[in-house]
Amino acid sequence: AQKVTQAQTEISVVEKEDVTLDCVYETRDTTYYLFWYKQPPSGELVFLIRRNSFDEQNEISGRYSWNFQKSTSSFNFTITASQVVDSAVYFCALSPTGGFKTIFGAGTRLFVKA
């Protein structure tokens, strides 16, 4: 069975704080892809990152960084110096290599207050 767990339902921070969104996944597949998507108040999900299970290098993109640890089945997402525009629901997702069904976690709602 495949499953994505985002234990944090809601997080509230003050602008400029760093925040980490947790994602833990379960899969029996040896190769797979992991994703993060952002859903702003407008409702349209926006792709943030895709990571192949073979690539455990951490990635940084501006204020965003991702920590993939296969040993703990985690793919955590950190926003540095958060801004009000970061307020959104963030989804972690899993897709087996060669498969078509992307499985999403329940999402973490992030509130960034000015």
Partner 1 sequence: GAGVSQSPSNKVTEKGKDVELRCDPISGHTALYWYRQRLGQGLEFLIYFQGNSAPDKSGLPSDRFSAERTGESVSTLTIQRTQQEDSAVYLCASSLVPAATNEKLFFGSGTQLSVL
Name the site residues for partner 1 (rule: CB under 8 A).
4, 6, 33, 35, 37, 42-47, 50, 91, 93, 95, 97-107
What is the closest distance, in whole angstroms, from the C-beta atom of residue 61 to partner 1 in the complex? 14
What is the closest distance, in whole angstroms, from the C-beta atom of residue 94 to partner 1 in the complex? 10
CA distances from 69 to 3, 35, 41, 49, 58 (A): 16, 14, 30, 15, 9
**Tokens representing 75?**
């793919």
Our CB check for partner 1 shows the closer of 52 and 58 to be: 52
Query: Any residues with CB less than 8 A from the CB of 71 and at least 6 apart, and which?
Result: none
* Termini Cα distance of the chain: 41
Q: What backbone phi and psi angles, to 5 degrees, belong to 20?
A: -120, 130
What is the closest distance, in whole angstroms, from the C-beta atom of residue 102 to partner 1 in the complex? 7
Our CB check for partner 1 shows the closer of 51 and 86 to be: 51
Our CB check for partner 1 shows the closer of 18 and 52 to be: 52
What is the closest distance, in whole angstroms, from the C-beta atom of residue 8 to partner 1 in the complex? 13
